[in-house]
Amino acid sequence: MRRHALPLSVLTAVALSLLFALPVDARDESAVRGEAFARAHCARCHALGPRGASPMREAPPFRALARGFPIDDLADVLTEGVDRRHPAMPDFRLGPAEASDLTAYLKALRR
Give the predicted TM-score (pTM) of the model.
0.69
The answer to whether position 19 is within a domain reads no
The answer to whether position 2 is within a domain reads no
CATH number for the domain that contains residue 68: 1.10.760.10
Q: Give the number of domains in the chain.
A: 1
The answer to whether position 8 is within a domain reads no
The answer to whether position 104 is within a domain reads yes
Low-confidence ranges of the chain (pLDDT < 70): 1-27, 83-87
Q: How many CB atoms lie within 10 A of CB 103?
A: 24
The answer to whether position 10 is within a domain reads no
Residue 97 lies in domain: 24-110
What pLDDT sits at residue 91?
A: 78
The answer to whether position 3 is within a domain reads no
